[in-house]
Amino acid sequence: MSLTETRSLAILDLFLKELEKEATTTRNILAAVPNDKYDWRPHPKSMSVRQLATHIGELPGWIAVVIATDELDFASKPYQQQIIENTADLLAYFERCYVEGKEALGQATEEQLLQNWTLRSGEEIYSVSTKEEVIRMSLSQLIHHRAQLGVFLRLLNVPLPGSYGPTADNTRF
């Protein structure tokens, strides 16, 4: 096995391990979303809890899209977010997207990770990165938006689960 093949297999294994770890933390925070707060937003320019939580739920599925395609063109395929009405549906949606992402990573190859992937809207190109870089960005987005949801929930006085350790809601300091 070449060094490139070993590196790629190691990255795929790391991505799988990270996705599994982050899925546990993500489930916990999504489960904390109150059903009566889905339309709340902290500022007019902010997403609503529904939009943000749904985006978090869909992010693992982006991994499968990136692995299976060479680009996403919003001009030919406009973004339409899934409509989520309650936390049970949110968790089920996250699980479907998580399974899609995990299965795609489990079947991915070195060659796929090295291929370029383009994000565009018609002729306007937003970014061109390797699929490996886009998968990394998707995982980072999951973590980033999960933290953002934590701020939303804190503002709503909802007790927060821990992410990488305890929170002020589940520890005594």
CA atoms within 13 Å, Cβ hemisphere of 159: 6
Q: Look at the chain and report how many structural domains it folds into.
A: 1
Whether residue 143 is contained in a domain is answered as yes
Q: 26-64 pLDDT, tens per residue?
A: 999 999 999 999 999 999 999 999 999 999 999 999 999
C-alpha 48: how far from its chain's center? 17
Alpha helices, DSSP H, located in the chain: 3-31, 49-68, 87-107, 110-114, 131-155
Report, as an integer, the average pLDDT of 116-132.
97
Whether residue 170 is contained in a domain is answered as no
Whether residue 58 is contained in a domain is answered as yes
Euclidean distance between CA atoms 106 and 86, whole angstroms:
30
Domain containing residue 32: 3-155
Whether residue 10 is contained in a domain is answered as yes
Supply the CATH number for residue 145's domain.
1.20.120.450
Whether residue 171 is contained in a domain is answered as no
The mean of the pLDDT values for the chain is 93
Whether residue 43 is contained in a domain is answered as yes
Whether residue 74 is contained in a domain is answered as yes
